[in-house]
Amino acid sequence: MRLGVFGEARGLLERRLELAPDFHLARSNYANVLGKVHQFDEAVKEVEFLQKAEPDNLSHPVLAASLLAKSGKFENAINEV
């Protein structure tokens, strides 16, 4: 991701999640990559999974709000935080 090679990062993270679906940091990174390639609806679904798995983790609603804002859904973004 740091190198801006989002296609490869996406593939690697998808494989990681196949092997370890409860690896929440990988899922968060995956949601970030999806946002970078403008797959906002898919990214938000990943964050929803994280929010259910870790409801007390404050980074998840922040990530969701960021993705929603980037997709132009500003009202929904405001409601996340």
- Total structural domains within the chain: 1
- Give start and end residues of each alpha helix (H) in 1-81: 6-19, 24-36, 40-53, 59-70, 74-80
65 lies in some domain: yes
**CATH code, 15:** 1.25.40.10
What's this model's pTM, rounded to 2 decimal places? 0.91
User: Could you tell me the end-to-end alpha-carbon distance of the chain, in angstroms, rounded to an integer?
Assistant: 25
Quick one: pLDDT band at residue 3, thresholds 50, 70, 90? Answer: confident
Residue 37 lies in domain: 6-80
Q: Is residue 64 part of a domain?
A: yes
Cβ within 8 Å of residue 16, ≥6 positions away? 23, 26, 30
Q: Contact at 8 Å (CB) between 13 and 46?
A: no
Query: 29-65 pLDDT, tens per residue?
Result: 999 999 999 999 999 999 999 999 999 999 999 999 9
Q: Examine residue 69 and state whether it is found in any structural domain, yes or no.
A: yes
d(CA 50, CA 73): 20
Residue 1, domain member (yes or no): no
